[in-house]
Structure formats: structure tokens, C-alpha cells
Amino acid sequence: MAQRNACLIAGGMSKWGVRSASLVDVSQEAAKACLDDIPGFSHKDIDGFLYATSFAGRCSFQTNPAPVMAERMGLRPTSICARVDVLCAGGSAGILLAKGLIESGMADIVMVAGGEKLYTPQKWEVFYSELASIDHDWDAPNGLGLPPPFFALVATEHMKQYGTTKEQLAKVSVVNYNFGADNPKAQFQKKLTMEEALEAPSVVTPLTLYDCCPITDGAAAVIVTYEEKAKELSDRPLVYIRGGSQVSLHSVSANWPGEHLADWAHLKVAAQKAYEKAKVGPDDIDVAETHDCFTISEVVEVEELGFCKKGEGGPFVEAGNTDIGGKVPINTDGGLLSCGHPFGATGLRQGIEMMKQLQGRATHQVEGAATALQHNLSGLNVEHTIVIYGREPVK
């Protein structure tokens, strides 16, 4: 069989936010939006299905969700039907797995979907459940599974080591919220000023309300196929999945791989491996989606991804480099801060935005975008997953 190049050809998402709908409901919404993204495409042609979720069993009382969701979406996968569970990186991991399935010839058309139903009648339940996402014998008993305290420690360390300011963190919020204000599927559609961001109530010092992404119900889905099939199904510009990586160097916080909490050595390794596989470098990236679960995350990520030097993430953001017209526009659909974060779906939302950017149909379009990158971290910052896309395949 000749070499096949995987392409992302369609995507859609449900409305994200506080939903009275079930996990099945939002997943069906996302699947329909995805299928509608290519008029005339039949769901009957999909032979592979991956479903990314981590909390289906705890919040929706649904284990083994992949065949359940396939049935409810009207799919009959004959090549693969499986769940992907790496928490916040489930969607992006699913895209990488779909690439492998397509390019190996095991499947021809794969839908990767994902979602979470996180809101429960008593909100304490989801915070308690988050302790299950880390090592339950070691870090969980100490409460480190709750993200705000951990990322507050990261922010404090970054401020200590590099002089990062609260104003620089606030700039991340302002840029991303203002992108998300025009996204009808985002949890929040509101403009944000620097004054509002800086005067917001404290969550965990130094992080305030707008430094933190919300808990979210929602789902998203994409379709991956090979180059020749993509040309049959759509006349849009092809978006090739050029390469990617997923790196995990530790799980327990005591084995942190960097010199300090603001040193994300595992992300740096992931970036190097992804760039090598995609045969590009950080200067080639025209637009990106990074994992802005907290504002400090984006500041560290622009450093470790090579968009600026280590320690210069704060000034990089403050100078407008992540906005339209900047060096690397980031989270142009609002990111986690504005869209929300239903864990298994986030990487898929990111993939949809990167696909639209390279096809020239994004709401906040980056002119001439030809190469795009998406990044997720997951758990207690224990995994980093990167997918790189291009208008041309790797040669």
C-alpha cells in the first residue's frame, strides 16, 4: 500500500457551559455539527471511532462509553471503536491515534469525539472527583489534584525566577476572552478589560478569577481521513496532520522533571520531538492553541514551545505577540479561559480551530496561516501532547 497522509477534514462542537443536557446529548450535538461541516457526507462511511473522556464513569455513570456513544451517534465502526483517556489531552491524543490508524491502513475514515458532563447538583463532587486524576496514593491525599493551588505555586515560582507580573498574567486573560467573545459555542462570550482582570476576586494567590478556566459541560468531534479520500469529500484546502508527540516523564509531584515548577522540561522534550516529526521549527508556526487552563500556563508554554526565550513569556504576551498581528496568535477561538474545559473535548476544539485557520475560515483569521500547532497538558501537569498541522504534507 502506498504511503497515506492523514488529514483533518471536518469538525464541530456542542454549546459549552453549564448544561442541563446529558453527556450523550452534548456528544450527539457535537457529532451532528461535525457531520454538517461537510454537506452531503454520510455518517455511514465512518469505519473508525475514538471517544475521549475521563469522567464519564464518575459523573455520568457510564463506563465503556465508546460503543454507547457510537450507537447514539448512528455510527457502526468496523475498524476500531475505543475509548481514549488521558484527561485534558484525550482529544489531541485521539487525533494522533487516528493519524496512525489512517496511515497504517487499519481504518479509512475515523471520527474522534470527546466530552464531559462535569456539572453535578452539588459542585463539590467534581472537585472531589478531580483527586482521582492523579496518583491516588501519594499526591491526592495532600489535595494536589485540585488545579488552582498547584498552578498558583507555578505562578509564584515564575514570578520569583523571572519577574513575571500580575499584569502580564492579566494580559493572557484579556486577549483570550476577547477572542472568545465572538465564539457562539464558548462558555463565556464577553469582552474583558485589564481593569476587570486585575480587580477580580482572588482564587488562590496570585491567581484571580479570570486567571482560571471554568468547569464545563460539552463535547466536540472531528473527522480524520487520508489525502485522496479528503479530496473526494471536500473541495476545501487540505489540512495535513504533519506530526506530533506525547511525553510523560513523571506522575508523582516529588519526581518533577524540571529544576523548579516553572521549568517544564517535559513540554520542552515534547516540542522538540513534535517539531522533528513535522519537520518544522517554532519560527514556522503561524497560529497556535495552547493549554491555557490558567494564565500562567500560557506564559510558560510560549517559552517551552520556543516562541520566546525561557523567562520571557510574560513580556512576550504583554507586547501583544499572541494577538492577531503578533508573532504567534494563540487561542484565537478563546482558549480554555473563555471556551471552558470539558477535559476530553478540549483537544478536539483546538484541532477544529487550527483546521479552520489553515482553511481560511476562522472567525479571527490569521492571514496566510500555513502551519499550526496545538498543545495540551493533562493531570498534575504530567503529560504534554502536541499536534502540528500544515497545508502541505511532510516530505
Tens digits of residue pLDDT in 232-265: 999 999 999 999 999 999 999 899 999 999 999 9
Please check whether residue 192 is in contact with residue 174, taking contact to mean a CB–CB distance below 8 angstroms. yes
Separation CA 84–CA 98 (nearest Å): 11
- Asked whether residue 223 carries a pLDDT value surpassing 90, the answer given is yes
Q: 379: Cβ–Cβ under 8 A, 6 or more apart, which residues?
A: 86, 87, 88, 133, 134, 251
Separation CA 269–CA 273 (nearest Å): 6
- Asked whether residue 19 carries a pLDDT value surpassing 90, the answer given is yes
Tens digits of residue pLDDT in 298-314: 999 999 999 999 999 99
DSSP state of 120: -
Of the two residues 395 and 91, the one the predictor is more confident about is 91
Catalytic residues: 88, 341
C-alpha cell at 14: 456542542
Domain borders along the chain are: 6-122+217-233, 147-213+242-388
Percent of the chain's residues with pLDDT above 90: 89
Tens digits of residue pLDDT in 96-128: 999 999 999 999 999 999 999 998 877 788 887
Please check whether residue 115 is in contact with residue 27, taking contact to mean a CB–CB distance below 8 angstroms. yes
pLDDT at 251: 92
- Choice among 56-65, 322-331, 383-392 with the minimum mean pLDDT: 56-65
The upper half-sphere exposure of residue 62, i.e. CA atoms within 13 Å in the direction of its Cβ, equals: 18
DSSP 142-209: GTTTSHHHHHHHHHHHHHHHH---HHHHHHHHHHHHHHHTT-TTSS------HHHHHTSPEEETTEEG
Tens digits of residue pLDDT in 23-73: 999 999 999 999 999 998 999 999 999 999 999 988 888 999 999 999 999
| Model pTM score | 0.97
**Average pLDDT score over the chain:** 96
Mapped onto helix, strand or coil, the DSSP state of residue 219 is: strand
- Asked whether residue 1 carries a pLDDT value surpassing 70, the answer given is no
Percent of the chain's residues with pLDDT above 70: 99
- Choice among 5-19, 138-152, 196-210, 320-334 with the minimum mean pLDDT: 138-152
Pick the CATH number of 6-122+217-233 from 3.40.50.300, 3.40.50.720, 3.40.47.10, 3.40.470.10: 3.40.47.10
Query: 147-213+242-388 architecture in CATH?
Result: 3-Layer(aba) Sandwich (3.40)
Evaluate whether 6-122+217-233 and 147-213+242-388 have a shared fold: yes
